[in-house]
Amino acid sequence: MDDEPQLVQSAPALAAVSLDESATVFTCANVPYSSRMVRRPLRSGNRRRWVSSPGAEGEDGGKFAMGGVIHVCTGNQARSPMAERLMEEGLRHRYGRAAESIFVTSGGTQGPPGRPMQPFAIAELEHRGVPADHFVSQLLDLQAVARAHLVLTATRQHRDEIVAQVPQALPFTFTWRELAWLVTGLTPGEVPGRYAVERLANLPLVAKQRRGYLQPLPPDLFDIADPMGGTRQDYRVAADQIEEAVEAVLRVV
């Protein structure tokens, strides 16, 4: 079935613009839309697959985005913005220019849109040397969810709300800490794909297959509490938990 996750193969569906991964740019059939990064998605029915389009330019003048990770919390002002920026920074640190080919964004299930990131969240990012500028909150785009390769949420409630509205997102929607638990102990070589962007697309299927082999954790450990309205320490705890989960994911990508 088209909605079932399928392993991404290197060829012929995916082709690289350059053999040097540090300068490789890919394009993807299912690019999530974001009001902060306007991209023109490539479509191929309902099937999620990789395509290449060397030299194709997006509406913002850059290469088409590839991949698709959406971070989700309630208001898109604290937890999910921190996750978005931490993942972007982690990808840049590992892959340099190639990180630009992996689309990372975030959204809130309730809003309101158009708000800046919370000051304590900015402080936590800056404390880690991660840029926090030019961020504006946005509501979660459910069409983007349907096209994403990976949707990561703050809590099980967010995850369940998304899946209830977008059932086809079930195979690739996890909480941050849930996915980190599922992939801990894996190496990049155990996730199919020659390039990081391929491994990212294949990660949900690999994680799903590991679920029955791991010692279950108390369900509440999969959630990250909302620091909104709390102290600086509340934000620090949330940022530490998000950073730990994001790093666990990036280690296998």
Is 131 in contact with 89 (CB distance < 8 Å)?
Answer: yes
118 contacts: CB under 8 Å, gap ≥ 6: 77, 78, 227, 228, 235
Q: What is the pTM of this model?
A: 0.77
Distances, alpha carbon 53 to alpha carbons 8, 15, 38, 50, in Å: 17, 8, 18, 10
Give, to the nearest 10 degrees, the angle between helix 119-127 and helix 232-252: 50
How far does Cα 75 stand from its chain's mean position? 17
Q: What is the CATH number of domain 67-252?
A: 3.40.50.2300
First to last CA, the chain: 26
pLDDT of residue 24: 28
* Torsions phi, psi for 225 (to 5 deg): -65, 150
Task: Outline where 31-155 has alpha helix (H).
Answer: 79-95, 119-127, 142-147
pLDDT of residue 94: 93
pLDDT of residue 187: 86
pLDDT of residue 195: 85
Is 29 in contact with 51 (CB distance < 8 Å)?
Answer: yes
Q: Partners of 106 in the beta sheet?
A: 71
Cα dihedral 118, 245, 251, 144, rounded to 10, equals -60
Per-residue pLDDT of the chain (253 residues), as tens digits, is 444 445 544 322 222 222 233 322 223 333 332 333 322 232 223 222 222 222 223 333 222 233 499 999 999 999 999 999 999 999 999 999 888 889 999 999 998 999 999 999 999 999 999 999 999 999 999 999 999 999 999 999 999 999 999 999 999 999 999 999 999 999 888 999 988 888 999 999 999 999 888 988 999 999 999 999 999 999 999 999 999 999 999 999 9
Provide the strand spans (E) within 112-247.
Answer: 150-153, 173-175
Is 3 in contact with 168 (CB distance < 8 Å)?
Answer: yes
